[in-house]
Amino acid sequence: MKDFLLQLKERFTRPAEEEDDSQEGENYVELGTTTKKDEKSKVIVRPFVMEEFEDIKGVLDVLREGSTIALINIKPLKEKDLVELKRAISKLRKTCEAIEGDIAGFGEDYVVAVPYFARIFRSQSTDVE
């Protein structure tokens, strides 16, 4: 796609004399069929299961890389040890703040953590007191 845009730019920025010569022989723009997709530009949504506090390290590592959205199942740790769960969530929250990301729970058993480029939608309460 980038090559195509560069070719179009060159075609439209040529002086008028060159355009006349090129229109006699060719009336098309050749497109390259090989496009390289940069894997770093893709966002990965990755599930994690937190069975113990040490499982948080893998989640934090991928969040710091900046191209992964983490869906974390916290149910096993919640059933095992609530203190460790609170500690893990606190560490996740601090890391999300540090990387300017966002974190939110959904349902009772899942937490989603996103890097700087994403925000989590939170519905606004319409109740007025």
Q: Rounded mean pLDDT of 117-121?
A: 91
- Domain of 30 in residue numbering reads as 1-36
Residues 25 and 51 in one domain: no
Residues 94 and 65 in one domain: yes
Query: Does 129 reside within a domain?
Result: no
Residues 44 and 18 in one domain: no
pLDDT tens for residues 22-44?
A: 555 567 777 666 656 665 678 99
CATH code of the domain in which 103 resides: 3.30.110.150
Residues 30 and 43 in one domain: no
User: Which one is predicted more confidently, 16 or 42?
Assistant: 42
Residues 105 and 78 in one domain: yes
Residues 13 and 45 in one domain: no
Query: Is pLDDT at 126 greater than 70 in this prediction?
Result: no
The model's pTM is 0.63
Residues 95 and 70 in one domain: yes
Per the structure, how many domains does the chain have? 2
Work out the end-to-end distance of the chain between its first and last CA atoms, rounded to an integer number of angstroms. Answer: 54
Three-state SS annotation for the chain: CHHHHHHHHHHHHCCHHHHHHHHHHCCCCCCCCCCCCCHHHCCEEEEEECCCHHHHHHHHHHHHHCCEEEEEECHHHHHHCHHHHHHHHHHHHHHHHHCCCEEEEECCCEEEEECCCCCCCCCCCCCCC
Residues 53 and 93 in one domain: yes
pLDDT tens for residues 42-92?
A: 899 999 999 999 999 999 999 999 899 999 999 999 999 999 999 999 999
